[in-house]
């Protein structure tokens, strides 16, 4: 994919993903408009399918939807609420610690700066960028496995890690797409541009894609 073709690609993607379910964390951000809930649901979503994330988030927020309320819950109660998300015991402990940190260091508010978010236990660049973009509507690029894989498959970037992809996209991706690229590529990657045997024969972006690393497709 040539650099100038990104505008066409993003326009096509915007239309294509309308047929599929919006990612769970995005739904939380649209419905709640609360950076804390975006942060918590994003942590729950790691290594977890969207359907499970959505249900677990709803159960947990019915019990506690502020840092003070979540910090006050016994860890066993949090575990029961979020099960069966991936690594639910580890995440339950993390959520309690994050809530206490927010109360002790940030007056119960989620920070809106990437560097501050990265100080929270269990928060990596993907989660921090998602909170910045979805929680606060501020410029950031959230790169997960889908964004990393698809941008390299297109030939738009040539990187080896999500961190390298984030840096490359910050350097070349027009800023108008920073807030939406994660949503678009996560949805597209879950339904069309699959990790193994992507659906290239029906892909609306096939004429733009270099198909880097694609050995087998449908």
Cβ atoms within 10 A of the Cβ of 169, count?
22
* Active centre residues (catalytic): 126, 144
The phi-psi region of residue 142 (left if phi > 0; otherwise alpha if psi is between -120 and 50; otherwise beta) is beta
Angle between helices 24-32 and 50-63 (to 10 degrees): 40
218 residues of the chain, pLDDT tens digit each: 999 999 999 999 999 999 999 999 999 999 888 999 999 999 999 989 999 999 999 999 999 999 999 999 999 999 999 999 999 999 999 999 999 999 999 999 999 999 999 999 989 999 999 999 999 999 999 999 999 999 999 999 999 999 999 999 999 999 999 999 999 999 999 999 999 999 999 999 999 999 999 999 99
49, 86 Cβ separation under 8 angstroms: no
């Amino acid at each position: 994919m040539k650099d100038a073709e990104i505008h066409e690609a993003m326009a096509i993607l915007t239309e294509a993903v309308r047929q599929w379910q919006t990612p769970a964390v995005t739904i939380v951000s649209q419905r709640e408009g609360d950076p804390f809930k975006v942060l918590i649901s994003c942590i729950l979503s790691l290594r977890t399918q969207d359907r499970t994330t959505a249900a677990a988030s709803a159960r947990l927020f019915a019990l506690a939807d502020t840092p003070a309320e979540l910090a006050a819950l016994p860890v066993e109660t949090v575990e029961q609420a979020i099960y069966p998300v991936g690594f639910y015991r580890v995440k339950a402990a993390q959520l309690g610690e994050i809530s206490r940190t927010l109360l002790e260091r940030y007056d119960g508010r989620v920070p809106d700066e990437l560097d501050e978010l990265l100080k929270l236990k269990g928060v990596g660049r993907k989660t921090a960028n998602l909170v910045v973009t979805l929680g606060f509507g501020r410029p950031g690029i959230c790169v997960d496995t889908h964004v990393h894989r698809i941008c390299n498959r297109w030939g738009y970037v040539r990187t080896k890690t999500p961190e390298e992809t984030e840096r490359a996209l910050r350097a070349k991706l027009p800023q108008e797409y920073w807030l939406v690229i994660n949503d678009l590529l996560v949805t597209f990657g879950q339904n069309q541009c699959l990790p193994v045997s992507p659906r290239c024969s029906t892909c609306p972006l096939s004429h733009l894609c270099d198909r880097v690393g694609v050995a087998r497709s449908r």
